[in-house]
Amino acid sequence: MRSTCAFLLTLALSPLASAQSLDCKLAQSPREHAVCSDKQLATLNTQIDTNYKSLLAELSPDSASLLESDQREWQQWIDLVCPAHGKGVASDQKRCLFNQYGARARDLKQTAHIGNAIIFSRARFLYRTADQSFQPHTTEYPGFGYGALRWPQIDSKAGHPTPSDAAWNEAVKAKANKLGASPFDAAQSTSFDTAVNASETIDAGYTLDAANDRLIEVSLINVSYLWISGASPLTTRTSFLWWLDKNRELSASDIFASDSPWRQFVPSVATARLQDNTNLKPLLRDDAVIEGAVEQSAVLPSNWILTHNGLRIIFPVGMVAANPAGMPRVFISWNDLKFVLDSNFDHSTLPPPLPRSR
């Protein structure tokens, strides 16, 4: 079922200007003609071109080269996943292009600044075509599977990244690569490149939640869909919280005193907040299920977002409530938590939340 013929989009370097600019008078490929014949697609193409050139101007030569490579890979990939005469979900080329062009425009605009450094979006795009033995049993199947992986990277135009920046770049890329392959077992050896197959799609991205020169908070989000009848998209998220000044991932002991009852207190408060949510209450699991699920997940930094005011806990889809509830959240203020906090933890040094890219 998973036997595939792999198309690895390995491309030679080419001049910067060729990466996105499109002169409709010179349009040749089916994709270029589709873009030039549709006002919305043409507008998105212009946005990508503008965002791309603006970002390149902010990057060091090394990072600019990486971005150029990502963009060329995306262009070849988009011709494969949005063909002129596709089938299934790929039968409407303009709709496919609209979705993928919109996503790429957002990728290129998703930046943040920390002093003289910039955090920008890297990407990897893969395509897998099925052999004749694969039978998807759904009319939506386009005849192939594909994957898109995105992760953040720090760069400084003034020079090479600092050792702490380089450590974070390596760590967050490795984490994104693992979670893009399997959101359930980041310790396994499977990578995004080996996980992408002809029987499903994988869209692994991120949101940059907060950042300063001490701490970067990222939500890594994976949406996968298996090409079988009756399947639904599976969405997972994981927080990746990294101390720049300590060159390591944040641990619970950075926040809570080890000799305090925080492991009992945090789940108890979180459970009460969930049950007090009138909009969520009809969708909540049975009390016994919630209690066990909250005890397991509320104490994991992978489910946390730290703010100036308190701790936000985000529960996985289906864990404490029915799937239509999405990812329920609870908030516990630092004031409520003060008696279990580590004496060295200073929440005033946490980074402010970053605005979402549109």
Average pLDDT of the chain, as a whole number: 89
Query: What is the per-residue pLDDT for 6?
Result: 42
| CB within 8 Å of 36: residues ≥ 6 apart | 22, 24, 27, 42
pLDDT at 311 over 50: yes
User: Do 115 and 163 share a structural domain?
Assistant: yes
Query: What is the per-residue pLDDT for 351?
Result: 94
* Across 113-120, average pLDDT: 92
**Domain of 285, in residue numbers:** 252-349
From 12-26, 82-96, 195-209, 343-357, the region with the lowest mean pLDDT: 12-26
Of the candidates 249, 265, 295, which is a domain's last residue?
249
71 inside domain: yes
* Across 197-206, average pLDDT: 93
Give 138's pLDDT tier (boundaries 50, 70, 90).
confident
Give 182's pLDDT tier (boundaries 50, 70, 90).
low
Give 11's pLDDT tier (boundaries 50, 70, 90).
very low
* Across 21-31, average pLDDT: 78
Between residues 110 and 188, which one has the greater pLDDT?
A: 110
Between residues 160 and 241, which one has the greater pLDDT?
A: 241
Percent pLDDT > 70 in the chain is 91
- pTM score: 0.89
* Across 199-226, average pLDDT: 94
Query: Distance (Å, rounded) from C-alpha 56 to C-alpha 52?
Result: 6
Query: What is the per-residue pLDDT for 8?
Result: 40
CATH number at residue 317: 3.90.640.20
Query: Distance (Å, rounded) from C-alpha 241 to C-alpha 328?
Result: 20
Query: What is the per-residue pLDDT for 358?
Result: 56
pLDDT at 12 over 80: no
Query: Distance (Å, rounded) from C-alpha 112 to C-alpha 117?
Result: 8
Between residues 67 and 231, which one has the greater pLDDT?
A: 67
User: Do 281 and 198 share a structural domain?
Assistant: no
358 inside domain: no
Encoded tokens for 58: 């902010």
pLDDT at 66 over 60: yes
User: Do 340 and 222 share a structural domain?
Assistant: no
Going from the C-alpha of 185 to that of each of 2, 190, 348, the distances in angstroms are: 20, 9, 34
User: Do 68 and 207 share a structural domain?
Assistant: yes
Question: What's the structural domain count of the chain?
Answer: 2
pLDDT at 239 over 50: yes
| CB within 8 Å of 251: residues ≥ 6 apart | 301
356 inside domain: no
pLDDT at 139 over 70: yes
Query: What is the per-residue pLDDT for 21?
Result: 65
pLDDT at 198 over 70: yes
Label residue 35 exposed, middle or buried (CB < 10 Å: 0-12, 13-18, 19+). Answer: buried
User: Do 75 and 8 share a structural domain?
Assistant: yes
Q: Is the dihedral of CA 211, 103, 4, 14 positive or negative?
A: negative
- Separation of CA 9 from chain center: 21
pLDDT at 16 over 70: no
User: Do 170 and 270 share a structural domain?
Assistant: no
* Across 94-123, average pLDDT: 95
63: region left, alpha or beta (phi > 0 left; psi from -120 to 50 alpha): alpha
